[in-house]
């Protein structure tokens, strides 16, 4: 595995926590759906600017893309609305550990079954133990927030 990709994804994960910390108060001030729209609006504008000023890569016509691959466009806003609603109630740490547990659990299924064209990967005992530790982290963070 390339350590650079691991560091990149860890930093991106830190960005998600930062985003959750921003979305909660923004949603309280302007409304949860408007907060989501603003996040996607700014992100879309940034991506269009990057696309405008970078070399042209492979570009396919939208009608040639399998429809199931566009589902991610629906899942993103649902995720951001969930963050916007839950972060002020749960706090950033609890929200992110819940996200992590959900992501890793579904990732195991995707790897195991080879969904979405991903290569199948066996679920080995140490990987399951890692998932158990994430669940325990959620329990500890929850209990710590109650005391």
Dihedral sign, CA of 70, 71, 74, 75?
Answer: negative
Distance of CA 140 to the CA centre of its chain: 22
pLDDT at 1: 61
Helix/strand/coil for 52? helix
The reported pLDDT for the residue numbered 131 is: 94
Listed in sequence order, the residues at least 6 apart from 140 whose beta carbon sits closer than 8 Å to its beta carbon are none
Print pLDDT tens along the chain (147 aa).
688 888 888 888 888 888 888 888 888 899 988 988 988 899 899 988 888 888 776 666 777 888 888 888 888 888 888 888 999 999 899 999 999 999 999 999 999 999 988 999 998 999 999 999 999 999 999 999 887
Report phi then psi at 122, rounded to 5: -65, 145
pLDDT value at residue 74: 83
- CB count within 10 Å of CB 38 equals 14
Using CA atoms, how far residue 123 sits from 31, 105, 128, 136, in Å, is 41, 11, 7, 19
Q: What is the pLDDT of residue 77?
A: 86
CB 24 within 8 A of CB 87: yes
């Amino acid at each position: 595995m390339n350590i650079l990709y691991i560091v990149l994804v860890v930093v991106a994960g830190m960005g998600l926590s930062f985003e959750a910390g921003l979305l909660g108060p923004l949603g309280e001030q302007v409304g949860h759906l408007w907060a989501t729209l603003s996040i996607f609006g700014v992100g879309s504008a940034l991506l269009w600017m990057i696309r405008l000023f970078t070399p042209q890569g492979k570009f396919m016509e939208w009608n040639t893309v399998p429809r199931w691959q566009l589902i991610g466009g629906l899942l993103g806003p649902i995720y951001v609305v969930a963050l916007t609603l839950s972060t002020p109630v749960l706090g950033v740490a609890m929200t992110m550990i819940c996200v992590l547990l959900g992501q890793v659990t579904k990732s195991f299924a995707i790897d195991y079954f080879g969904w979405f064209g991903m290569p199948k990967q066996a679920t080995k005992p140490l990987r399951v133990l890692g998932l158990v530790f994430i669940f325990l982290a959620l329990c500890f963070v929850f209990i710590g927030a109650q005391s």
